[in-house]
Amino acid sequence: MKDETKEVSMDGTERKGTSRRGFLTTTLAAGGALAGAGLARAQGAPDPLITEVQSWAQGWGDGVDATPYGLPIHYESDVVRRNVSWLTADAISSINFTPIHALDGTITPQGCAFERHHSGAIELSKADYRLMINGLVDTPLVFTYEDLERFPRVTRTFFLECAANTGMEWAGAQLNGAQFTHGMIHNMEYTGVPLRTLLEEAGVKPEGKWIYVEGADASSNGRSIPLEKAMDDCLVAFKANGEALRKEHGYPVRLVVPGWEGNMWVKWLRRVEVGDQPWESREETSKYTDTLEDGTSRKWTWVMDAKSVITSPSPQSPIKHGPGPLVITGLAWSGRGSIARVDVSLDGGKTWKEARLAAPGQDKALTRFYFDHVWDGSEMLLQSRAIDSTGYVQPTKTELRAFRGVNSIYHNNCIQTWWVKASGEAENVEVS
Ligand code: MTE
Ligand code: CO
């Protein structure tokens, strides 16, 4: 029997094909399916959380000044940075990892954004802060913190990825959790002065082609950066996510080098020297190269290529419910532009479906993606694949190894696979 009517919806468009009755039946059927899958519980034993007045409704809550600067509620105490103790000899020159498996959206709260220090996080006050610009400039300058605050400033969101992120995974699937395989990344909204403005204030001489940037910590973390990049989009930042930088992220001032390796984002920035060539002898250049299969090394591989990872489900974020609706979500980013598309595979890369981006990809910033799935309860080989605004497609592990071998540490941007079992638990694996 044909049951076709015309309906005019609120926005005035005509909907053909379903009568009100037909619509109701479908909705109810879908509702029933969701209830069956555990999304809604209308029947069964009375739930005391609904029927009884609970203890928290029988007295007062905390007054407004209980925590002048709030921390996450204690129920969330496992959402913290973690390290891998065997990776480094001590915690001073070490790294920890952002709990990306437990976060959503794109902004990383500073309190759980990974840290990487070569000689520990130092305490430097705004009063003691100085930034010097010298070398091939018309007027060498020294800025105080207050000086920096008087230049026109900008606010922009960027990801910072350590070049070593995913570096333990070259030879095989090793660390069991997105936090550990992909957590050397964070994404913050920075406020600061374009480095270009300060360099123009000092006046770069025509021979100036490079800058050398260093921090006030014992390691100084000195790096050479082409002047072109310095004049393009680098920021001398003093705020992150609206508030002062945390000590561990470079308080009071850090350099932001959008899309480039995290090691160039000098914390506790104290000096910018302009020169006509890179200062290779001053740097740990041997550390930041990518050794290829034939023994030769790539150097100056500053840009972070497009990459993505499913953050949930993942080993630290297993599926805790049975078959039915399942939100698959993750992060994608590219140092060469914005994320144009993310695909998700449930079968280890044999077939792909397009994921939904939470918001259009932003230049050199994290993009959140969702894939709304109805899980049949069978095991999956979950993968995500990022495609950026240059058309670059994130490579498989096999493709990347064919070009890069397995001797590198840095720049592993391959597709990650999580084996999700029927139990809902997930494991870090490789597919051939
Ligand atoms: N800057 C200074 N002064 N000292 C450092 O040890 N580590 C670098 C970079 N800038 C470092 C530094 C490295 S290797 C990385 S990945 C990033 O800072 C990490 O920044 P974060 O600690 O804010 O995550
Ligand atoms: Co690093």
Pairing of strands 154-161, 210-215: unpaired
The phi, psi pair for 286, rounded to 5°, reads -65, -25
Same domain, 233 and 185: yes
Same domain, 102 and 24: no
Which has more pLDDT, 113 or 21?
Answer: 113
**Could you tell me the residue range of the domain that residue 165 belongs to?**
82-298
d(CA 256, CA 248): 15
Residue nearest to atom 22 of ligand 1 (CA): 115
CB 274 within 8 A of CB 136: yes
- Going by pLDDT thresholds of 50, 70 and 90, the confidence category of residue 26 is very low
* Ligand sitting nearest the alpha carbon of 270: 1
Q: Is the pLDDT of residue 174 over 80?
A: yes
Q: Give the DSSP H/E element, type plus range, for residue 404.
A: helix 397-404
Buried (b) or exposed (e) across 30-42, using 16+ Cβ within 10 A?
eeeeeeebeeeee
How confident is the model over 225-271, as pLDDT tens digits?
A: 999 999 999 999 999 999 999 999 999 999 999 999 999 999 999 99
Q: What was the pLDDT predicted at 294?
A: 80
Mutate to test the pocket of ligand 1, among 87, 100, 117, 261 (most ligand atoms within 8 A of CB): 117
Q: What was the pLDDT predicted at 276?
A: 97
425 within some domain: yes
Atom of ligand 1 nearest to the CA of 268: 3
Same domain, 290 and 327: no
DSSP tag of 415: P
Same domain, 86 and 214: yes
Q: Is the pLDDT of residue 16 over 90?
A: no
117 C-beta closer than 6 A to ligand 1: yes
Residue nearest to atom 23 of ligand 1 (CA): 249
How confident is the model over 354-364, as pLDDT tens digits?
A: 999 999 999 99
**Quick one: which of 296, 285, 392 has its CA closest to 338?**
392
Give 262 Cα–ligand 2 centroid separation in angstroms. Answer: 5
Same domain, 128 and 273: yes
Pairing of strands 130-135, 269-275: parallel
Which has more pLDDT, 92 or 140?
Answer: 140
Beta-carbon contacts of residue 114 (< 8 Å; ≥ 6 apart):
81, 95, 96, 97, 98, 162, 183, 184, 185, 186
DSSP tag of 102: G
DSSP tag of 246: P
Q: 233, 263, 298 — which closes off a domain?
A: 298
Same domain, 315 and 171: no
Q: 249, 275, 298 — which closes off a domain?
A: 298
Task: Tell me: cis bond preceding 315? Omega within 30 of 0 counts.
Answer: no
Which has more pLDDT, 236 or 32?
Answer: 236
- Average pLDDT of the chain, as a whole number: 90
Same domain, 293 and 312: no
56 within some domain: no
Domain with residue 371: its CATH number is 2.60.40.650
CB 99 within 8 A of CB 76: no
Q: What was the pLDDT predicted at 322?
A: 97
d(CA 384, CA 337): 18
Give 55 Cα–ligand 1 centroid separation in angstroms. Answer: 46
How confident is the model over 75-90, as pLDDT tens digits?
A: 999 999 999 888 888 8
3 state DSSP class of 309: strand
264 within some domain: yes
61 within some domain: no
216 C-beta closer than 6 A to ligand 1: no
Q: Is the pLDDT of residue 200 over 70?
A: yes
CB 227 within 8 A of CB 127: no
Same domain, 113 and 219: yes
Give 261 Cα–ligand 2 centroid separation in angstroms. Answer: 7
Total domains in the fold of the chain: 3
- Going by pLDDT thresholds of 50, 70 and 90, the confidence category of residue 42 is low
Same domain, 282 and 336: no
Span 342-353, average pLDDT = 98
Pairing of strands 356-357, 367-375: antiparallel
Domain with residue 213: its CATH number is 3.90.420.10
255 C-beta closer than 6 A to ligand 1: no
71 within some domain: no
DSSP tag of 74: G
66 within some domain: no
- Going by pLDDT thresholds of 50, 70 and 90, the confidence category of residue 39 is low
The phi, psi pair for 349, rounded to 5°, reads 95, 5
How confident is the model over 381-403, as pLDDT tens digits?
A: 999 999 999 999 999 999 999 98
d(CA 303, CA 410): 11
Same domain, 311 and 294: no
The tokens describing 211, both together, are 């800058």
How confident is the model over 264-309, as pLDDT tens digits?
A: 999 999 999 999 999 987 876 545 677 887 878 787 889 999 999 9
**DSSP states along 267-305:** SSEEEEEEESS--GGGTTTTTT-EE-TTS-EE----B--
249 C-beta closer than 6 A to ligand 1: yes
405 within some domain: yes
Give 93 Cα–ligand 2 centroid separation in angstroms. Answer: 11
274 within some domain: yes
Helix extents (H) in 15-112: 20-36, 48-51
Q: 298, 317, 340 — which closes off a domain?
A: 298
d(CA 178, CA 143): 41
The tokens describing 333, both together, are 């980013």
Helix extents (H) in 77-204: 145-149, 178-182, 195-202
3 state DSSP class of 418: strand
Same domain, 190 and 281: yes
Same domain, 31 and 180: no
